[in-house]
Amino acid sequence: MLIETKLRPPELKRDLVARARLLRQLDGALAARLVVLSAPPGFGKSTLLGQWIASLKARDAAVGWLALDRDDDEIGRFLSYLVAALQRADPQVAPHVPALLQSSPVLPVDSVLTSIVNDLSHRTQPLFLILDDCQFLSSPEICRFLDALLAYAPASLHLVVATRGPLPFGLAHMRVRGQLINLDDMQLRFSLEETESLFQAAELRDLPLSDVVTLQHRTEGWVAGLQLASLSLEEPAGRAAFIRNFSGSHRDVAEFLTQDVLARQSPDLRDFLIKTSILSRISAPLADAVLGRDDSAAMLQAIEAANLFLIPLDRERHWFRYHHLFAEFLQAQLQEVGRGEIAKLHGRAADWLSANGLTSEAVAHALAAGDADRAAALVEDCAMPLIMASHLNTVRAWLGQLPPDLIARRPRLQLAEVWIQFHMSRPQEAARTLKSAKQSIVAAQAAGKLDRETQAALQAELCTLTVGVVSAADRSRTAARLADSWADAIPENRPFFKGTLGNINAFCHFSLGDLDGARILSLKARDSHGAAQSVFGVVYSDLILGLVEKAAGNLTGAAQFFARAIAAARRELGAGSYAEAMVAIFEVELLYEWCDLAGAERLLHTHRQIIEECGLVVHEMACKLHLARIAAARGRHDEAMAVLERAERLGIEKRYHRLTASALNDRVRLLLQRGDVQAARFALPARGVGGEGKKNAGLAALTPATEPEFMAQARVLIASAKPEAALKLLDRVADNVRRDGRLRRLSQVRALAAIASYQAGDALSALAAAVDAVSICAPQKALRTLVDEGQALREVIDFSRKRMPSWSGDTPTGQFLDRLMDEFGKPERGPTQSAHLRKGDPGFSPREIDVVQLLGIGHSNRDMAQALGMAPDTVKWHLKNIFGKLGVANRTQAVLRLQDIGLTLPQQPGP
């Protein structure tokens, strides 16, 4: 008797993630004889096939399903189930075979094959036979039967198999004949969009996109890992800690891997897996050296054939790595069963890697083996090549594990530390380390320890780093002067330093408003980096060229440079490198400008973490401003304001004036859009910006870095019904940016000038300013520059459009303005107000109401942050606003004040 459930497709749960891209690939089975889904457990093979079967049956297709197990690896039992599956799809296929199988004293394999093939040949419509869990099949008789079935069956039969391990029949001849579709674990992984859908289906819609991206990266799209993570995220409390610590040793993941993967392997294979988990990548010779064996090639072949989370890293399959979560799980197992061997294994790995020229990989193992002196020597050998390839985090991690006194004795390590501090926007620390390195180099020279070539190389590096540190301190004019005077002193045989000095100088000229100078310097620097084969330098040159085009108002040209830089980074370094991230952060601004908020937010959160960990302040500045602007565009004003305040404080802390000025301008704009003129007015002097009462305040200090402060002052003056005063400021800024050819900033300034002129009743000037702004924005489809100015600019555009014939009809400008008006008309998507205060509401925002509720029942700041899913700084920011609106100085006074004004609070929080 057959087990009926083996012949039924899996029951599909509700709210499954629709995998349209894979379903389309499976539909290609109509043009293929064989479809293979091959992946480790937990990659959703059966579920995907269940979804596909549902779509096939909706189209009246004939489908047979068979779920295999260990007992089916016997030819007689296998044929009984195979025929039964075929008959579920078409009762006319092999109707007499079941009786034949039961009555014949000798198993009639050839007769069964003939009957199936002949009956299928009468079909004109396709029939799909799906075999799940084919890894259980190893019988030679079954192999021969399936090979023959594929060889002789008519075109109407399409065989679909899912397996965790090797298949029982050959695929080469099917592939050669173009009759094979193969989906492996790389294709079955969840994309970021599918991961978002998974968490939404699990009622985790409030999970921030940044957390979704983190889990996507940690699991590498492994479906089971994401599902296990979602179960632990159902309670908001503790989510941040769980996501931060999620790994292969997490209880649910470890239990799944222990029971469903490791327990099925032989003791020898388990030992191999556990001990090789210390290796970030594995080859047979390396594994032989580490484990003291000579059969690692065969072991790796067995692991790959069994689909044990082993990922090939080259076409020749010489190098592999384990899936990150699987590696972490195996490393946790090693801590339990082989702790005493760990240092020895790392030492052997360092020996082999160093001997085979893989110095950078040897460093990590030398450190793990506890050999600091050896590790330091290795870091000296490979730090600069890694820096040239943008692997700054790797070098930073190594230096962090070396004793400080060891670094202080080695000038090369000190210089490597300066590179890291410079790129992490820590100019004060970098200056101190650079001074110490200079002293060490002078001492080494005096002692005769440095030859002439080494001295020249160290001098070139010192010049480059000195200019870099000065630039990182936001002293662009000084840095540019030094770079110009030292450029010829860099030897031609040091192209990386020459190119880096050129890039730093190019950025300084860009930040000073000299776009042409920045272009020329960047192009020369790019040539030098090409000669040095430094992908990091080439990418950075293209980044500066893109920033120059963006400042010039040529967003399309900027996008082309950014795309070229990202393509180079991915080609040389793979996806997700720091080099890619530092370009992508600026690409976010283009997507935002083009009103692709979803794309901008996704790209931002994909690269945000690496930029915040290790990025120049200009990149961190861009990251924070994009976060705030996207949040505001989504209607999350409180979040945007908190981010901007943090950005201003960061700019003050890092002494990076352009960051403080830009964040201040954005914050003033948002405050005024909320109608809080008083808060906007006070924000300026609080940051040292001249107020409206001071005649010509701050005009002498107009620079590209301070222009946003002038715009912020103009905004306050407009809101204070002083448009003429605002126009004086804006005209000064407009003259500055027009002279430099910085059309993007000009469009922003002229949009504000249009609002001021319109308020002043000067229709002609308002029309002229509006024409300037639209003329710059329309060809580049730069919508958000205008949309972000809100209703005030909409009125001016509407007024101007009626007076400009070329702005109407089916012209390019008319189409742009149609889209602009649509964007103006879209309501902001903000949080729903979850609770309501009664009596005497002092104008709290919805999020402030949530905070007030928790304040009223005695929650601490930390409790509020956990309950509301906020950062602690955001809670503090809300409390400061609440205290200001209530006119109190602390929490106790706030609660008493709420009672005094007759404001009642519910006894339980309502967010």
Residue 99: pLDDT band (50, 70, 90) is confident
pLDDT at 206: 73
pLDDT at 169: 62
H helical segments located in 634-788? 637-654, 657-673, 677-686, 707-719, 723-740, 743-760, 763-777, 784-787
pLDDT in tens, 865-893: 766 766 676 777 778 778 777 777 777 77
pLDDT at 905: 46
pLDDT at 672: 93
Percent of the chain exceeding pLDDT 90 equals 38
**Rg (Cα) of the chain, in Å, rounded?**
33
- CATH architecture of the region 4-188: 3-Layer(aba) Sandwich (3.40)
User: What's the whole-number mean pLDDT along residues 89-93?
Assistant: 92
Instruction: Round the average pLDDT of the chain to a whole number and report it.
Output: 85
Residue 473: pLDDT band (50, 70, 90) is confident
The answer, yes or no, to whether residue 833 has pLDDT greater than 60, is: no
Q: Say how many CA atoms lie within 13 Å of 527 toward its Cβ.
A: 6
Per DSSP bridges, beta strands 320-322 and 310-312 are antiparallel
Q: By the 8 A CB rule, do 664 and 708 touch?
A: yes
pLDDT at 882: 82
CA distances from 201 to 227, 230, 348 (A): 11, 10, 47
Q: By the 8 A CB rule, do 101 and 80 touch?
A: yes
Residue 130: pLDDT band (50, 70, 90) is very high
User: What's the whole-number mean pLDDT along residues 596-605?
Assistant: 90
Q: Which helix (H) or strand (E) holds 305?
A: helix 296-305
Residue 370: pLDDT band (50, 70, 90) is confident
Lateral strand order in the sheet of 62-67 = 62-67, 127-132, 157-163, 34-38, 180-184
Domain with CATH 1.10.10.10 in the chain: 831-911
pLDDT at 699: 46
pLDDT in tens, 416-434: 999 888 887 788 888 999 9
Lowest mean pLDDT among 16-25, 198-207, 364-373: 198-207
Strand partners, 320: 282, 312
Residue 663: pLDDT band (50, 70, 90) is very high
Q: Which helix (H) or strand (E) holds 157?
A: strand 157-163
Q: Which of 248-262, 288-302, 649-663, 802-816 has the highest mean pLDDT?
A: 288-302
pLDDT at 839: 44
H helical segments located in 742-886? 743-760, 763-777, 784-787, 790-801, 812-825, 846-856, 861-868, 872-886
Q: What is the b/e burial string over 441-470, where b = at least 16 CB atoms within 10 angstroms of the residue's CB?
A: beeeeeeeebeeeeebbbbbbbbbbbbbbb
pLDDT in tens, 516-571: 999 999 999 999 999 999 998 999 999 999 999 999 999 999 999 999 999 999 89
Residue 203: pLDDT band (50, 70, 90) is confident
The answer, yes or no, to whether residue 107 has pLDDT greater than 50, is: yes
The answer, yes or no, to whether residue 177 has pLDDT greater than 60, is: no
The answer, yes or no, to whether residue 481 has pLDDT greater than 90, is: yes
| Total Cβ atoms within 10 A of residue 763 | 14
Residue 621: pLDDT band (50, 70, 90) is confident
Residue in 244, 243, 237 with CA at minimum distance from that of residue 864: 237
Backbone φ and ψ of 876, nearest 5°: -60, -40
**Structure token pair of residue 358:** 């893989």
Bigger pLDDT: 490 vs 902: 490
Sign for the pseudo-dihedral over CA of 216, 219, 225, 229: negative
pLDDT in tens, 736-776: 999 999 999 999 999 999 999 999 989 999 999 999 999 99
Residue in 381, 373, 368, 453 with CA at minimum distance from that of residue 409: 373
pLDDT at 173: 52
Query: CA-CA distance, 301 to 333, in Å (whole number)?
Result: 22
pLDDT in tens, 683-708: 998 888 875 444 444 444 789 989 99
Domain with CATH 3.40.50.300 in the chain: 4-188
pLDDT at 171: 54
DSSP reduced 3-state for 180: strand
Tokens 């070098």 sit on residue = 395
Query: CA-CA distance, 522 to 851, in Å (whole number)?
Result: 50
User: What's the whole-number mean pLDDT along residues 30-46?
Assistant: 85
User: What's the whole-number mean pLDDT along residues 386-402?
Assistant: 84
Residues 6+ apart with CB under 8 A from 470: 427, 478, 479, 482
pLDDT at 85: 94
The single-letter code of the amino acid at 386 is L
**Structure token pair of residue 308:** 């044990």
DSSP reduced 3-state for 159: strand
Q: Which fold has domain 831-911?
A: Arc Repressor Mutant, subunit A (1.10.10)
Residue in 741, 803, 727 with CA at minimum distance from that of residue 767: 803
Q: What letter would DSSP give residue 260?
A: H
**Structure token pair of residue 643:** 């981010």
Residue 907: pLDDT band (50, 70, 90) is very low
The answer, yes or no, to whether residue 151 has pLDDT greater than 50, is: yes
pLDDT at 810: 81
Residues 6+ apart with CB under 8 A from 61: 125, 126, 128
The answer, yes or no, to whether residue 162 has pLDDT greater than 70, is: yes
